[in-house]
Structure 1
Amino acid sequence: MQSPFVLENESAYQAWRSRKLEAYPTHLGQILVEINDPRSLTQAEHQAILQVCQKTNMVVYASKTGSDPDKDIPRLLGKRYGLERLNCNMLADDDGLTSLRVVEGGQHHDFIPYSNKPIKWHTDGYYNTPEHQIWGLQLHCVQSSAEGGENALLDHEIAYLLMRDENPGFIRALMQSDAMTIPARVEEDGVARPDAVGPVFSVHPESGDLHMRYTARTRSIVWKQDDLTLAAVAFLEKLLVSDLPFIYRGRLESGMGLVSNNVLHDRAGFNDTPDKKRLLYRARYYDRIAGTGVSEVYGL
């Protein structure tokens, strides 16, 4: 299979690029699918979600479950799309899903996802080992905050495309096995881990699909100190703060959620009130959304 994400496969890349950009959605409403109950999708709902994911590697859904806290809502929805191999961590709930809410004190205290602070652009699990990369990410909103908490979303394949068009050398630099290092520390999973060294962009050896590990944080990260890598990082940072039409911005409200192939995302800061406290469920998977592989969608 000629993966378009391998630099040497220029003809496959051009064919993929042309089809990828054709009628590509440029605002959040175009990737929003209204459904009744995520636990029991109709065939039409299932297909509508899949079609959006095949184009953009993500979908935002709006369901009628409201503030129902049933964890089967995201779990059964994910299962319909082959998302089953959960990446469990010590700060997750007993069932492997993570309840993202403001937690005062305790072991959660040092981790920004459990605060109301903004979170910079990243893909989930960027500190994971190469054998445990996060390919799928789900969010489900039980309750939004009183104010704030918006997300921005960007398809990592679009980020790759824009960088490759600008300078293929940027891709080559960010595919280096030591392009990005996250120094050793105790991470959000509560486990002390060694240095996490690896590429930003990588290609699955069997499926040919693109994976991205990235964080825009400036502390506790070491970029390879060569001119091309640093130029590539600077170009990506510039993309992420631009008014790029491919960046979707919005807020998940009760009953809404995200299903994605671990796309780039951020989170604005937010404020809770006593009667409106933000609660989202997060699920990370070692699986991609079934039926969205580059070979399945583009036949390359």
Structure 2
Amino acid sequence: MSHPRFNPFGLDNDVDYQSWRSLKLENYPASFADLVVQVNDPRHLTRSEHEAILALCRKTNMALHVSKVGQEADKEVARQLGLQFGLERLDRNLLADDDGITSIAVHASGERQHYIPYTDRPIKWHTDGYYNPPERKIWAVQLHCVSSAASGGSNGLMDHEIAYILLRDANPDYIRALMEPDVMTIPARMDDDGIARPDQTGPVFSLHPTSGDLHMRYTARTRSISWKKTPLVEAAVAFLDELLNSDSPYIFRGRLEPGMGLICNNVLHDRTAFSDDESSRRLLYRARYYDRIKGTELAVAYPA
């Protein structure tokens, strides 16, 4: 296992942290609209379109794209866009479609109705795949909107590296606590045959073993989750919860409309409740990856 020369996430390396922090916050976008890149066809980006999306992802770990594909129900929009950024290894989770890309819509019956993403209810702040085992860590996520709801269904977005900065600036020990390997446990999920998924215990923040890039595993849910019972963990979780429910300028809010998409390094996000009607039924495609967006690595985004 090799370690990167530049290590801003090491709590014993304040020089690298302060250098990275300064560059990270310099000219940071101020709104949802600042994340948007106009493209012609996400399946075939021009060089300038690709560079614009990549520049945003280097700065904020996310970018929104708007195109003329509109309400085309074509999963290739997400698949082909992902491939242009090195996203190849799809997480074929339990409820994903056969092609590994998930159709997110309201299901009134069947297995999906029991899971909040397939309802019209709000979803609390989280990163994707927080219940996955370490070998199936989700590094990148895409959402592509085919059709939006009649009302509601907007998203909050927050760069997990910004959350790290705000936690570390408040108290470096918050980061130390949230990097403990047993800080957050998602209890086993049972089905009719017994255990469908065992307990998943792990850190909130962890680092890529070779590139040193930051990963965040988090959910704001209060049921079916167990936090390590120490005063420091309790304080860190409370700080994060307060941050995500604040009017922080680093939280971007907006709604994906038909033809819009999000590509990100698994940033924090939530969803408001929504209502469908006969003419407007919300349909998004979601792709989760074991890869990180190529070209956003620390060594590339912050060359020594």
Q: What aligned pairs does 1:1-300 form with structure 2 within 5 A after superposition?
A: 1=4, 2-186=6-190, 192-300=196-304
The separation in 1 between residues aligned to 2:303 and 2:184, in whole angstroms, is: 31
**Is contact 1:86–1:283 with CA below 8 Å preserved after alignment?**
yes
> Matched residue of 1:4: which SS?
coil
**Is contact 2:71–2:259 with CA below 8 Å preserved after alignment?**
yes
The separation in 2 between residues aligned to 1:3 and 1:148, in whole angstroms, is: 41
Percentage identity across paired residues of the two chains: 61
The alpha-carbon deviation at position 130 of structure 1 amounts to 1.1
The separation in 2 between residues aligned to 1:7 and 1:118, in whole angstroms, is: 35
RMSD: 1.2
The separation in 2 between residues aligned to 1:91 and 1:212, in whole angstroms, is: 22
The alpha-carbon deviation at position 131 of structure 1 amounts to 1.2
The alpha-carbon deviation at position 256 of structure 1 amounts to 0.1
**Runs (4+) off by over 4 Å:** none
**Is contact 1:6–1:203 with CA below 8 Å preserved after alignment?**
no
**Is contact 1:5–1:13 with CA below 8 Å preserved after alignment?**
yes
Which letter does structure 2 place at the counterpart of 1:232? A
The alpha-carbon deviation at position 90 of structure 1 amounts to 2.5
- Please list the CA deviations of residues 80-110 of structure 1 after superposition, one character each: whole Å capped at 9, or x if unmatched: 0001100002211110000000011111111
With the length of structure 2 as denominator, give the TM-score of the two structures.
Answer: 0.96
The separation in 2 between residues aligned to 1:97 and 1:57, in whole angstroms, is: 21
The separation in 2 between residues aligned to 1:164 and 1:295, in whole angstroms, is: 21
The separation in 1 between residues aligned to 2:93 and 2:199, in whole angstroms, is: 18
**Is contact 1:121–1:265 with CA below 8 Å preserved after alignment?**
yes
Which letter does structure 2 place at the counterpart of 1:209? D
The alpha-carbon deviation at position 186 of structure 1 amounts to 4.6
